[in-house]
């Protein structure tokens, strides 16, 4: 997996906007995790372990941000926008404890992602990838999710009109199924 794939995932999710997720280039976030993992193989200690954890969390947040941004573009869901805002706030944290504190403060926002969700295979797939990202425990899992996310985003036509979810069902259709 490469830092370029991570960058492409973010760019595709935010297109046509330019992603403003990290203060440094997104490729640096991926490379910082790789560097921290290399250092951890050479040495031991809490500081190195803490650095690996922090770099891992930043990459995981970046992937989650890309997926939830794509979901928000498809669903126009207020819950998704709130979660996106929370993740963007958490990615600015300076350590893992701070990330946890920010997320825990508004953990209930994640429940709102599933309100008003209507049958839509692409949305469901994005939410499933988002959940897998939150559960990921290794760089290899994150690498797989970056690729799967890129593949999913390539298949989505963000410019296609989305069905109006507030539109009532057709009365003739309702009569036909009774």
Express each pLDDT in 69-92 by its tens digit.
998 888 777 888 899 999 999 999
> At residue 168, does pLDDT exceed 50?
no
What 3-state DSSP class applies to 88?
Answer: helix
Residue that has been written with the tokens 């930043």 in this structure: 58
Where do the structural domains in the chain lie, given as residue ranges? 3-176
Express each pLDDT in 76-134 by its tens digit.
778 888 999 999 999 999 999 999 999 999 988 887 776 655 557 788 888 889 899 98
Would you state the structure tokens that stand for residue 143, as one six-digit string?
């690498």
Mean pLDDT (the chain, rounded):
83
Express each pLDDT in 4-40 by its tens digit.
999 999 999 988 888 889 888 899 999 999 998 888 8
Q: What is the pTM of this model?
A: 0.80
**Structure confidence at residue 174 (pLDDT):** 47
151: pLDDT confidence band, cut at 50, 70 and 90? very high
23-36 as b/e: b if 16+ CB within 10 A: eeebbebbbbbeeb
**Structure confidence at residue 119 (pLDDT):** 59
**Structure confidence at residue 46 (pLDDT):** 63
Would you state the structure tokens that stand for residue 95, as one six-digit string?
């350590």
């Amino acid at each position: 997996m490469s830092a370029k794939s991570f960058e492409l995932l973010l760019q595709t999710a935010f297109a046509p906007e330019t992603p403003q997720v990290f203060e440094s280039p997104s490729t640096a976030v991926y490379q910082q995790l790789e560097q921290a993992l290399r250092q951890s193989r050479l040495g031991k200690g809490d500081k190195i372990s803490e650095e690996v954890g922090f770099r891992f969390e930043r990459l995981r947040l970046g992937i989650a941000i890309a997926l939830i941004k794509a979901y928000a573009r498809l669903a126009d869901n207020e819950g998704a926008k709130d979660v996106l805002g929370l993740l963007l706030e958490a990615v600015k944290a300076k350590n893992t404890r701070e990330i946890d504190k920010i997320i825990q403060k508004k953990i209930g926002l994640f429940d709102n992602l599933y309100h008003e969700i209507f049958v839509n295979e692409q949305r469901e797939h994005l939410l499933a990838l988002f959940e897998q990202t939150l559960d990921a425990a290794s760089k290899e899992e994150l690498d797989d999710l970056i690729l799967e996310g890129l593949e999913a985003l390539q298949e989505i036509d963000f410019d296609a009109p989305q069905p109006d979810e507030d539109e009532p069902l057709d009365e003739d259709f309702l009569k036909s199924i009774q």
